[in-house]
Structure 1
Amino acid sequence: MINKRLIAMVPEVKPFIFKKVVASWVSLLAGIVLWFTVAKTLEQVLEEGAVAQGTGTAFLVAGGCIVIRFFLTRLSAGYTHQAAACVKARLRPAIYDKLRRLGSSYTDRFPTAEAVQLAGEGVEQLETYFGNYLPQFFYAMLAPLTLLIVFLPLSPLTAAVLFLCVPLIPAAIIAVQRVAKRLLRKYWDAYANLGDSFLENIQGLTTLKVYSADQARHKAMNEEAEHFRKVTMKVLTMQLNSVTIMDLVAYGGTALGSILSGRAFLLGQVSFAGAVAMILLASEFFLAMRALGSFFHVAMNGMAASERMFRLLDLTEPEEGGKTLENGPISIQELSFSYDGRKDALSGLECTIPQGGFFAVSGRSGCGKSTLAAVISGAQTHYRGSLQIGGTELREGSAESLRSLITVVSFNSYIFGGSVRSTLLEGRPDADESALQEVLRRVNLLDFVQSQGGLDMPLMERASNLSGGQRQRLALARALLKDSPIYIFDEATSNIDAESEEDIMGVIRSLKGRHTVLVISHRLANVTDADKILYLEHGRLCESGSHNALMRMDGGYAALFRAQQELEHPGGKEGEECEETA
């Protein structure tokens, strides 16, 4: 069970595998010397009836062999740990780098929970494959050959029988391999599905409680857990049965070898010392292969994990150009995009956003606003048509230059646990104290932070110890520190209080002229002062112009604006005044 591709991924582990095999083999040689020395000493004692001359030397040799085996065992364990470290250092970054190259849309093709499981338990299983199974595989080939060479001059029959019994263990392994492979694939499927459900239920626990749907989810998850338990028990049963077979072969072979050694002594074919030595060493014929069988099941589990890892690593990555994207106008020509390849989420969009412009995208839910933001920011790459920034086609630009050029602030921007300082430094690692305080002042968050202990105020995961408005202000402050040429605000004021909404919109408006700003907002009152508003319907650009121009057109935008004003100010004058101004 040698996976060449997997081994090629971790070339650094090969020297440690080789060293561990050599250490195990030298330890076997020391064991051979030890038992022959013990057997010879016993023979001398029996022949002379007392402690024979030279026994002291024999004890020194035996003691030396024991010390050598002890240190070689410790050395072998060290090589195992070093091999495991190499596996972690190579495979976990490979998984992370692949996810990074796939981009934020990787969740459309590979579940997050499964990626976490692969990077965790999956890599742990592969540690055993590299650190124990592979070295034991090669040593298990070498040990019986070495013992065969030792036994042949003493008793050819015993040597031949023991050597021929050894392949029964790998035969048992091969017999269960096909069943084990299929069963372990089911195990990983059940494990990954259970992990996905657990993560989803934890993330949506509040929603489940609100709608009293937690009991139904609890029942469904219990059913998945029971299915996983049954699959796990099948795996353990298969392992136990195969271990039982291997033990029968190992102990039966050892017993047979001991009987044949005793028979050879009785027939005068071998000396007493030779017979005792062969009896003591008979088990060594099988121990190496028996240990290989023990590691086999963990290795098979690792192979099942590696299949999933390769499925992730083999996912096609978004095409990335080598050109450097420079700041400039955003030109969109005949832009179309589809998530599933059948129905277009965007269709035939055409517009130009000048450098330093303040543009807004509006429309009813599902019209394609956030999809357009995702395409411009590079989160979705398989678009049709042309999308140029600064005269360079987006798909021809490098991901690094795109990340430095555009910053996206969404309604659910992720904030890691840590502190306010560490969060802000993600935007600009070299920012000093005064810069951090100034950006907090700009988003009207400085007084609150100072009242909570200053920049080192602790933040829980997702900043759950902040209100929704405070989280958005902090996310905006982090984005401002980055000071990128282009900002995209995708529903950045959604689900927050009115005061925070006004503060955030004030900061966004202040970026006009110095930065290109694209605002996606469901609330049209927030974008009435935009240079141009793009109104989408069913993924198509239906209207564009300033707020006043769109109101005069009295089309879809005007109807949506009036409907929102009526909802916000029923029977009030504010909506009427807006229309009169228009």
Structure 2
Amino acid sequence: MKSPSSGPGPDPAVPAPGTGAPPPLRALAAPVRGRLALAVGLQAVAALAGVVPFIAVSLLADRLTDRVPAEADTLWPLVVLACAAGLVALVCGTAAGALAHVADNDLQLTLRRRLARHVGRLPLGRLTEKGTGEVKQAVQDDVGALHTLFAHTLLDVVAVLTAPVLALAYLVTVDWRLALLAVVPLALGVLLFRRAMSGAAAQMAEFGAALGRISAAAVEFATGIAVFKSFGRGGKAHERFVRATEGFADFFSGWVRATLVSSTAAVLVVAPAVVLLLLTAVGAVFVTQGWTTGAELVPFLLLGPAVAAPMGVVGPRIQQIRAGQAAAVRITELLDAPTLPEPATPALPDGHHISLRGVSFSYDGHTDVLDGVDLDLAPGTVTALVGPSGSGKSTLASLLPRFHDVTAGTVTLGGADLRDIPATELYRRVGFVLQDVRLLRASVADNIRLGRPDATDEEVERCARAARIHDRVTALPDGYATELGTAVTLSGGEAQRLSIARALLADAPVLVLDEATAYADPHSEALIQDALSALAAGRTLLVIAHRLSTIRSADRIVVLEDGRVTEQGGHDALLAAGGRYAALWDAQGSPDDVREGSAR
């Protein structure tokens, strides 16, 4: 067994798991940690400065209510202090927000560039297995969640935690008894909030599952309504959707009822109006009993509600912090995904002969999907892979464009191991047309030019004609300049022919075709077969076929069963042998029942 060539080491910006590395959130924020720390400091100064005007007003009230008339010289410094502190709070708060947003913008750019570079180095098989949803979530949704955390939530948390500390410290110096009273709503809010949040993890999991059931039922309702109506059961079509929504309503109502009292009480006891009412009532008693003065009560009425303020916003902030932490974990997992190893000593193929020797492959490292496959694909020939579902056809075909690396054995192109061929060189020589065609939100011409970005308009049109898609393109509003993915969409067969035009333009000498006509209607299938005939001319083809009539004239038909080659040869010879291929042929009907076709 040949070991894969060693490639570049892991991204140094991403800590390796199990090495005492910092948590994902802290590791991702490392490039902007200094600026975020400065923003946090500025926000703390702004929050503290925001309390000073209230303290100054309290001192002014004390001076103005003194029996001895206050002199202007003793009042104006407090006025100046209040104004200056308000200005500092405004300047520092604005600077903190601007700095946090600039740092976050740089972080988003850095993360998206890292993700783009890393995804470009991932094995294509990983992307086809998990789809593009994981990449979209990381690049768009998760990076957006970090924006909310770093640019907004972080500063909000600093503000709501810093200001109450100074407020409480000042209130203690005025009257420690009323200061303790101001802390009571905060303590009650913490206790009630903890009671309301008990068991929240399990409830949130059920909440997500219930929403998932509604989504699935809604899709089923939308896609299946025609079938129900065609059998006269239109009234039954929405039953599962209604059951799902009713189940969600019952669950959510029960959850709300169980937490309603404690969650509502947690919000009420820290509400500014409630805190102010409590301090006013008790403060009035203190004043009438002579335990404090009216002037000394003023700071409690101004700053008391701020002491309990953090509990009023703790719920949403905790949720945003958790969302940011989860996003950081997902981004880190994607960045930690192993990339396709690049060869230490690159090799270039000599010719286009493909050879598989002793090839085995496993997705999980335990169960072999392919086991000891030996196969040769001679230049200019068509080799078809057939076999029952799950036999390993798609897996075997995915090894040629190196969607995966073999677990054991070797795959060579022109005598060079695929693992030793640089990726750019490999994809100049090996192309593929898959069942699930992905088109970009770009013009038709640009979608075709993915095969060769420097191609001229004439070359693009020539390949479109050969792929039997030119007439459809010219019927679009702007012809080849029409942007796909907006108001214009192509059918499955049309998209398939567009991908064939792309492959023609790339002009790779080796092609892998994964049942290119699987989703086409009869008319589109005929056009696709004509396009494939143009595409196959002079190239080495490996074709995955489910409809055996389309590959009966292939140079070699290879039958796979349980990851092993059990038969190979021409169509007539395999029929005469009466083995697995003959059974598959008979199961699909006689040649008169299916459209005669060719992979050429």
TM-score range, shorter chain: 0.7 to 0.9
Aligned partners of 2:474, 2:507: CA distance in 1, in Å? Answer: 24
- Cα distance change of structure 1 residues 396 and 28 upon mapping to structure 2, 3 Å threshold: same
Q: Secondary structure of the residue that 1:387 maps to in structure 2?
A: strand
The partner residue of 1:6 within 19, 25, 29 is 25
Q: Which sits farther off after the overlay, 536-545 or 457-466? A: 457-466
The residue number in structure 2 matching 1:438 is 462
Aligned partners of 1:457, 1:371: CA distance in 2, in Å? Answer: 36
Aligned partners of 2:110, 2:117: CA distance in 1, in Å? Answer: 11
Per-residue CA deviation, residues 60-117 of structure 1 (Å, 9 max, x unaligned), is: 6545544554555555554565576567557777888887737445675x68768767
The partner residue of 2:559 within 530, 535, 560 is 535
Aligned partners of 1:471, 1:416: CA distance in 2, in Å? Answer: 11
The partner residue of 1:154 within 143, 149, 174 is 174
- Cα distance change of structure 1 residues 405 and 7 upon mapping to structure 2, 3 Å threshold: farther
The residue number in structure 2 matching 1:459 is 484
CA contact (8 A) 1:363 1:535 kept: yes
Q: Which sits farther off after the overlay, 427-436 or 242-251? A: 242-251
CA contact (8 A) 2:386 2:544 kept: yes
Alignment of 1:327-476 (within 5 A): 327=349, 328-337=352-361, 346-363=370-387, 367-379=391-403, 383-394=407-418, 403=427, 405-452=429-476, 453-460=478-485, 464-466=489-491, 468-476=492-500
2:52 matched to 1:33? yes
2:53 aligned partner, one-letter code: L
2:58 matched to 1:22? no
Q: TM-score, normalised by structure 2?
A: 0.74
The partner residue of 1:284 within 289, 306, 309 is 306
Q: TM-score, normalised by structure 1?
A: 0.76
Q: Which sits farther off after the overlay, 436-445 or 17-26? A: 17-26
Aligned partners of 1:180, 1:335: CA distance in 2, in Å? Answer: 50
2:269 matched to 1:248? yes
Q: Secondary structure of the residue that 2:373 maps to in structure 1?
A: strand
Q: Secondary structure of the residue that 2:566 maps to in structure 1?
A: strand
2:531 matched to 1:507? no
- Cα distance change of structure 1 residues 469 and 261 upon mapping to structure 2, 3 Å threshold: closer
Q: Secondary structure of the residue that 1:33 maps to in structure 2?
A: helix
1:188 aligned partner, one-letter code: G
Q: Which sits farther off after the overlay, 529-538 or 191-200? A: 191-200
Q: Give aligned-pair identity as a percent.
A: 24
**How many residue pairs are counted as aligned between the two chains?**
566
State the superposition RMSD in angstroms: 4.9
Alignment of 1:108-257 (within 5 A): 127-159=147-179, 162=182, 166-192=186-212, 194-195=214-215, 218-230=238-250, 238=259, 241-242=262-263, 244-249=265-270
CA contact (8 A) 1:84 1:128 kept: no
Q: CA deviation at 1:351?
A: 1.1
Per-residue CA deviation, residues 318-355 of structure 1 (Å, 9 max, x unaligned), is: 77454557444322223345678887654432112234
CA contact (8 A) 1:410 1:491 kept: yes
- Cα distance change of structure 1 residues 558 and 396 upon mapping to structure 2, 3 Å threshold: same
Per-residue CA deviation, residues 441-484 of structure 1 (Å, 9 max, x unaligned), is: 22233344334443113434797444x54332211011222233
Aligned partners of 2:587, 2:159: CA distance in 1, in Å? Answer: 78
Q: CA deviation at 1:267?
A: 7.6
2:530 aligned partner, one-letter code: D
Aligned partners of 2:463, 2:493: CA distance in 1, in Å? Answer: 16
CA contact (8 A) 2:504 2:535 kept: no
- Cα distance change of structure 1 residues 16 and 431 upon mapping to structure 2, 3 Å threshold: same
Q: Secondary structure of the residue that 2:385 maps to in structure 1?
A: strand
Aligned partners of 2:570, 2:110: CA distance in 1, in Å? Answer: 54
CA contact (8 A) 2:355 2:411 kept: yes
Aligned partners of 1:236, 1:87: CA distance in 2, in Å? Answer: 38
- Cα distance change of structure 1 residues 278 and 412 upon mapping to structure 2, 3 Å threshold: closer
Per-residue CA deviation, residues 384-420 of structure 1 (Å, 9 max, x unaligned), is: 5443344455567776665554322123322344431
Q: CA deviation at 1:500?
A: 0.7
- Cα distance change of structure 1 residues 470 and 30 upon mapping to structure 2, 3 Å threshold: closer
Q: CA deviation at 1:368?
A: 4.0
Per-residue CA deviation, residues 343-395 of structure 1 (Å, 9 max, x unaligned), is: 76544321122345433334566654333223433445565544334445556
Aligned partners of 2:470, 2:379: CA distance in 1, in Å? Answer: 31
CA contact (8 A) 2:370 2:562 kept: yes
CA contact (8 A) 1:330 1:353 kept: yes
Aligned partners of 2:532, 2:573: CA distance in 1, in Å? Answer: 22
Q: CA deviation at 1:288?
A: 3.7
Aligned partners of 1:442, 1:501: CA distance in 2, in Å? Answer: 10
CA contact (8 A) 1:129 1:298 kept: yes
Q: Structure 1: where are the runs of 5+ without partners?
A: none
Q: Which sits farther off after the overlay, 259-268 or 149-158? A: 259-268
Aligned partners of 1:552, 1:133: CA distance in 2, in Å? Answer: 73
2:479 aligned partner, one-letter code: G
2:505 aligned partner, one-letter code: L
Q: Which sits farther off after the overlay, 479-488 or 446-455? A: 446-455
Q: CA deviation at 1:308?
A: 7.8
Aligned partners of 2:125, 2:154: CA distance in 1, in Å? Answer: 36
1:508 aligned partner, one-letter code: L
Aligned partners of 2:423, 2:250: CA distance in 1, in Å? Answer: 45
Aligned partners of 1:128, 1:269: CA distance in 2, in Å? Answer: 47
Q: Which has the higher contact order (CA 8 A, sep 6+)?
A: 2
Q: Secondary structure of the residue that 2:411 maps to in structure 1?
A: strand
Q: Secondary structure of the residue that 2:567 maps to in structure 1?
A: strand
Q: CA deviation at 1:207?
A: 8.1
